[in-house]
């Protein structure tokens, strides 16, 4: 089942660092930011993780939980998280269930070979469990600021309601 903006997320459950389980209902009442990235310890992914880390307090203040998602295993995630001192958890989607559900697995050309890879994407889920916004095939510079701005505007809308 594919995800659709302004619709609830399909059922899923995934394991994250810190022994957490994340599901389509685990963060109801809270804004949820899920960012999908290709691989731990690669230049773009490291930069993106550090930018989410550096703005993490602002996300929390705006009422959001942040999770990074990749196909890496839990050991890789634990090492990556420790190395970069990430204050948020990382989801190990080793079976690509979430990656396929969110439609982020794409064919890429690497070194002249076709490979399946993760398209850098971010999804914003509202406190009601509805997908609010998605950013696909994004570039790292400026992206975290854009997501934070959207989270803050969502929080402002919630207050006004």
Give the span between the Cα atoms of 79 and 93, in whole angstroms: 16
Give the span between the Cα atoms of 33 and 95, in whole angstroms: 21
CA distances from 103 to 25, 44, 52, 140, 150 (A): 20, 20, 22, 19, 22
Active site residues: 45
Give the span between the Cα atoms of 12 and 111, in whole angstroms: 34
The radius of gyration of the chain's CA atoms, rounded to the nearest angstrom, is 15
Beta-bridge mates of residue 108: 115
């Amino acid at each position: 089942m594919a995800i659709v903006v302004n619709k609830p997320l399909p059922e899923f459950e995934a394991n994250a660092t810190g022994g957490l389980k994340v599901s389509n209902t685990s963060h109801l009442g809270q804004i949820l930011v899920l960012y999908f990235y290709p691989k731990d310890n690669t230049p773009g992914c490291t930069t993106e993780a550090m930018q989410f880390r550096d703005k993490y307090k602002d996300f929390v203040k705006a009422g959001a939980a942040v999770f990074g998602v990749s196909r890496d295993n839990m050991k890789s995630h634990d090492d990556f998280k420790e190395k970069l001192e990430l204050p948020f958890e990382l989801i190990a989607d080793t079976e690509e269930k979430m990656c396929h559900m969110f439609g982020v697995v794409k064919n890429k050309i690497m070194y002249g070979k076709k490979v399946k890879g993760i398209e850098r994407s971010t999804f914003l889920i509202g406190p009601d469990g509805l997908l609010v916004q998605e950013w696909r095939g994004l570039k790292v510079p400026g992206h975290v600021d854009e997501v934070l701005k959207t989270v803050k505007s969502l929080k402002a809308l919630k207050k006004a309601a």
